Amino acid sequence: MPVSQKIREAIGRSSWIRKMFEEGAKRKAEYGEDNVFDFSLGNPNLEPPPRVHQVLEDLVRDPTPGQHAYMSNAGLVKTRRAVADYLNTYNRDRFSSEEIVMTVGAGGGLNVVLKTILNPGEEVIIPKPYFVEYNFYLDNHQGTPRLVKTRPDFSLDFDAIEEAVTEKTRAVLINSPNNPTGKVYAEEELKELAGLLSHYSGKFGQPIYLISDEPYRKIVYDGIKVPTVFDAYNESFMVTSFSKDLSLPGERIGYAAAHPGISDKKMILAGMVLCNRVLGYVNAPALMQRAITRLLEDSVDISLYQQKRDRLCEGLASFGYEFKKPEGAFYLFPRTPLEDDVAFVAALQDENILTVPGSGFGGPGHFRIAYCVSDRVIEGALPGFEKVMKRY
């Protein structure tokens, strides 16, 4: 057998997103790129802001010795201090460089946090629909996902969360703005969740952590603000990246932050630094750490994503699709007009429209459209969306 049984099984249930992306590549080769409308992958189509290029050029030309050497596994002190200063602009508690670990993207950050806190067999509660790579991250560290439903508008269902809490519960993992729904959890929701977790932390005699995955924090619309988990709950972590708001997914740069008031902080932070090393990341890329030190306030033009959202929502609503208008991120998660979302996505595929079944996110009866694409793709796909809806 060429690979382990576990990996064979994982390949069999690997992400729908990647399956559809690969299908898109085949169709583009067969029908031509302009005739395929690929909404499968959350790969930002906007180029990084011009300032990103200028910063990188300046850094590459810097002759200072040691620019590409090893550093502390936590990352460059100057970068961590800059991140802490940035967090201090919107959080009540004061961060210092010691609460920050620079990571290889948000995925790397989540793996660092999960490895730090999880014992074998412990559980992490995840509201669904959700980003299904979380399952693999948990499996990496012998953790178990406990998936719970959300309300019809994708807000948190506290009865479902409370029902899922047991003595094995180690954390709740949320993603806001959410992939795939675009939902932003309100401040009142975070406070209620914090109260619930505080109650059960006291009951079981150990913290139940709140982990917030926030790579889309800056991509919000209509004046909506993303509340911070740190103001709601001390036993919390925030993980983010610069993949989406700076359009740098291939550069794999992000960070994980622990609340300054987290229990047993010294050991938690030491664990995160150790895990960053032993997971094989060693440290986040040195060049990109230096770059984002200067780019923490920057982002792509979010209004362009809002325009894409509005055009897509306008068109789909006129065809009879039902959905909750996304508050953030760049995903739309409409209902399918038939129960079998996989069959509906296949029907769209016949029109060379590539989307992802909601089942792949724990949200059957829906499908995900990643609208971080050119306007040409949106306009070209609308007739096909209308045609398939009319069929049903």
Instruction: Dump pLDDT digits (tens) for 223-257.
Output: 999 999 999 999 999 999 999 999 999 999 999 99
- State whether 238 and 129 are in the same domain: yes
* Tokens encoding 198: 């505080």
Confidence category of residue 22, pLDDT binned at 50, 70, 90: confident
58 within a domain of the structure (yes/no)? no
**Domain ranges, residue 145:** 66-293
61 within a domain of the structure (yes/no)? no
Confidence category of residue 49, pLDDT binned at 50, 70, 90: very high
pLDDT beyond 70 at 175: yes
Among the candidates 293, 319, 335, a domain finishes at: 293
- State whether 258 and 311 are in the same domain: no
306-315 per-position pLDDT tens digit:
999 999 999 9
221 within a domain of the structure (yes/no)? yes
- State whether 107 and 247 are in the same domain: yes
pLDDT beyond 90 at 10: no
- State whether 116 and 250 are in the same domain: yes
User: Cβ distance 220 to 327 under 8 Å?
Assistant: yes
HSE-CB at 102 with a 13 A cutoff on CA atoms is 30
Distance CA 271, CA 287 (A): 25
- State whether 172 and 257 are in the same domain: yes
Confidence category of residue 168, pLDDT binned at 50, 70, 90: very high
Confidence category of residue 180, pLDDT binned at 50, 70, 90: very high
pLDDT beyond 80 at 173: yes
| CATH number for 334 | 3.90.1150.10
- The pLDDT of residue 14 is 66
Among the candidates 240, 260, 293, a domain finishes at: 293
- State whether 90 and 148 are in the same domain: yes
Closest CA to 171 of 216, 115, 97: 115
85-129 per-position pLDDT tens digit:
999 999 999 999 999 999 999 999 999 999 999 999 999 999 999
- State whether 75 and 44 are in the same domain: no
Report the amino acid identity of residue 102. Answer: M
328: left (phi over 0), alpha (psi -120 to 50) or beta: beta
- State whether 94 and 177 are in the same domain: yes
DSSP lists the bridge partners of residue 212 as: 174, 238
- State whether 114 and 229 are in the same domain: yes
* Tokens encoding 63: 């002759």
Among the candidates 254, 274, 293, a domain finishes at: 293
DSSP lists the bridge partners of residue 336 as: none
60 within a domain of the structure (yes/no)? no
| CATH number for 207 | 3.40.640.10
* Tokens encoding 382: 């609308």
- State whether 258 and 352 are in the same domain: no
Q: How many domains does the chain have?
A: 2
* Tokens encoding 161: 């969360």
57 within a domain of the structure (yes/no)? no
Distance of CA 221 to the CA centre of its chain: 17
